[in-house]
């Protein structure tokens, strides 16, 4: 198991955002993390990635305990994340964004640029290589964020709603990009609301509801799970 999340809880004062969640991701897997809004998925990501400290529980990556590590250290160990609300380096070009990511592993400019150019090509960003990140639309900015994370040459990436706000074409492109990265050996844990993408890409799905894990199975099994259906339909009902 590459990533092991063991009885992790996160409390904010009186509010328990994540409660006793445990699951694991094996090397090479694509696992989806789904659940109604506010279920605690991004909080869990933040804890795993080091942005937040777990109130309880441990997280192991590649066998070593990374609980409490700071984000940059976790990234250097090979676990990189993207943000739900994209944070590209706006005033820098697309290429430079990716170069900065590459510098995490590459000691000098030459190799960093080499790695960056390759990734820019592979993620289909070559056309906008020299454009400033903040001038580009959301779909491309999500790709920049992904490319930048890939440049750190991780073993596993955490994708936080990377399909959010994309039009159907962009969606298809992003999905094939994710498949492509996975074929290359990348382990992926993704938070998603676009069900079609989740069903198609993931070998396994973990469902979180009110901070607790309520399912951990293949897409087909999860789709039939009564607790999952209740969680989603129940929410919909309340909204009405």
Partner 1 sequence: MHIRQILGSRGTPEHIVAAALFGIALCIALFSDNLFLQDAIILTLMWAGLASAWNIAGGSAGQISLGHAAFFGLGAYTSTLIKIHLGWSPWIGMLCGGMLVVLVSGFIAFAATRLRGPYFALLTLAFAAVVQIIAARWYAFTRGNEGIAIAFQPGLENFIFTDKLSWTIVIIVYVLVLYSIGVWSARSRFGFQLAGMREDEDAAQAIGIDTRMLKVATIAVSAFFTALGGTFYAQYVGFLDPGYVLSVDLSVKFALMCIIGGLGTPLGPILGAILITALEMYLRAKWGGARSGLYLMVYGVLLILIVRLMPEGLVRGIPKWFKGRRRTRAA
Would you tell me which residues interact with partner 1 (CB under 8 A)?
A: 49, 51, 70-73, 75-76, 80-83, 87-93, 96, 99-101, 103-109, 112, 130, 132, 148-149, 151-152
CB closer to partner 1, 59 vs 231: 59
List 188's β-bridge partners, or say none: 30, 157
Q: How far is the CB of 174 from partner 1 (least distance, A)?
A: 19
β-pairing, 64-65 vs 56-61, is antiparallel
Mutual angle of helices 138-151 and 109-122, in 10-degree steps: 130
CB of 195 to partner 1, least distance (A): 27
Q: Which candidate, 90, 104, 190, places its Cα nearest to that of 140?
A: 90
**Does residue 117 contact residue 95 with C-beta atoms inside 8 Å?**
yes
CA separation for the pair 150, 104 (Å, rounded): 11
Nearer to partner 1, 133 or 178 (CB): 133
Least distance in angstroms from the C-beta of 197 to partner 1: 22
| Nearer of residues 89 and 232 to partner 1, judged by Cβ | 89
Least separation in angstroms between CB 104 and partner 1: 3
């Amino acid at each position: 198991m590459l990533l092991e999340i063991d009885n992790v809880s996160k409390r904010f004062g009186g509010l328990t955002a994540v409660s006793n969640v445990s699951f694991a991701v094996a090397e090479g897997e694509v696992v989806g993390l789904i659940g109604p809004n506010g279920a605690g998925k991004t909080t869990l990501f933040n804890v795993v990635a080091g942005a937040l400290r777990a109130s309880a529980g441990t997280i192991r990556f590649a066998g070593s305990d990374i609980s409490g590590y700071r984000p940059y250290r976790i990234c250097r160990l090979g676990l990189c994340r993207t943000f739900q609300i994209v944070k590209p380096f706006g005033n820098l070009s697309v290429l430079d964004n990716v170069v900065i990511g590459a510098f995490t592993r590459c000691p000098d400019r030459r190799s960093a640029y080499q790695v960056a150019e390759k990734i820019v090509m592979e993620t289909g960003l070559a056309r906008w290589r020299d454009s400033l990140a903040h001038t580009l639309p959301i779909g491309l900015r999500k790709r920049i964020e992904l490319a930048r994370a890939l440049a750190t040459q991780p073993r596993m990436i955490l994708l936080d709603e990377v399909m959010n706000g994309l039009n159907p074409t962009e969606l298809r492109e992003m999905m094939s990009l994710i498949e492509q990265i996975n074929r290359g050996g990348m382990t992926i844990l993704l938070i998603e609301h676009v069900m079609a993408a989740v069903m198609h890409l993931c070998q396994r799905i973990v469902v979180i509801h009110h901070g607790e894990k309520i399912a951990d199975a293949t897409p087909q099994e999860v789709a039939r799970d009564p607790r999952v259906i209740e969680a989603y339909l129940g929410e919909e009902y309340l909204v009405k």
